[in-house]
Amino acid sequence: AGPINIVSKINVTEEVEVVEEISEDEDEDDRTDQERYEDLVEFCDDANENVCEYIKESANCCCEAEIETYAKCAYQNIFPDKYNMTERCGYQCNLNENVNVLMVDNDEKGVELGIIFGAIAGVIGVALWSYACYYWLFYLPAKKKRKMLKKPVTTKETFVGENSGLEYGISSMQGWRVYMEDRYIAYQSSVAPPTEIGVVDGEKRTAVGLPHNHSLFCVMDGHGGTFSSNFVSQNLVRIICEQQPFAEYVQKVTQEGQKSERDLFELRELLEISLQHAFIDIDLDLLRSYTESKEKKHNSGLSISTSKKGTSLSKSKKEEEHDDDAGFLSSNAKKAGGSGVFSGTTTVLVMLTPHFMVCANVGDSRAVLYSSNVNSPMLVGPEPTALSIDHKPKVPSERERIEKFGGRVARGRVDGELAVSRALGDFDFKNYSPHNKEETGLEIAHRQKVSPIPEIIVQNGCIGKDRFLVLACDGIWDVLDNFQCAHLIETLFQEGESDVGLVCEEVLDVCLEKGSKDNMTIIVVKFPGQSIGKGGGVTARRELRMTRVDDESSSVTSFSAPDNENIEHAGKLKC
Structure confidence by residue, pLDDT tens digits, 372-406: 875 555 556 688 999 999 999 999 999 999 999 98
State the helix-helix crossing angle for 261-296 and 227-242, rounded to 10 degrees: 140
Q: Say if residue 534's pLDDT is above 60.
A: yes
pLDDT value for 438:
60
* Cα radius of gyration rounded to whole Å, the chain: 39
Collapsed DSSP state (helix, strand, coil) of residue 410: strand
Three-state secondary-structure class, residue 288: helix
Report the range out of 141-150, 320-329, 518-527 with the highest average pLDDT.
Answer: 518-527
Strand partners, 223: 344
Q: How far apart are CA 235 and CA 307, in angstroms?
A: 8
CA distances from 420 to 135, 424, 560 (A): 24, 11, 30
Residues 557 and 531 sit within 8 Å (Cβ to Cβ): no
**Residue-level pLDDT at 193:** 43
Tell me if the pTM is above 0.95: no
- Residue 444's pLDDT is 80
CA 231, 233, 234, 239 torsion-angle sign: positive
Query: Region 41-59: what's the mean pLDDT?
Result: 52
For residue 509, what pLDDT is reported?
94
Residues 279, 377: Cα–Cα separation, whole Å = 40
| pLDDT of the residue at 212 | 82
Predicted pLDDT at 38: 65
At residue 332 the predicted structure's pLDDT band, cuts being 50, 70 and 90, is very low
Q: What is the mean pLDDT of residues 434-463?
A: 78
Average pLDDT for residues 313-339, to the nearest whole number?
33
Buried b (16+ CB within 10 A) or exposed e, 529-562: bbeeeeeebbeebbeeeeeeeeeeeeeeeebbbb
Band of pLDDT at residue 229, cut at 50, 70 and 90: very high
Residue 559: pLDDT over 60: no
- Average per-residue pLDDT in the chain? 72
Stretch 328-334: mean pLDDT? 30
CA atoms within 13 A on the CB side of 24: 0
Selected residue with higher pLDDT from 197 and 244: 244
Question: pLDDT by residue (tens digit) across 4-32?
Answer: 443 333 333 333 344 344 334 444 556 66
Note whether 91 and 103 are within 8 A (CB). yes
pLDDT by residue (tens digit) across 267-284?
A: 999 999 999 999 999 998
SS3 at position 166: strand
Give the pLDDT confidence score for residue 511 in this predicted structure.
96
pLDDT at 261: 87
Helix (H, G, I), strand (E, B) or coil at 128: helix
User: Exposure of 9 by Cβ count < 10 A (0-12 exposed, 13-18 middle, 19+ buried)?
Assistant: exposed
Name residue 494's amino acid. Q
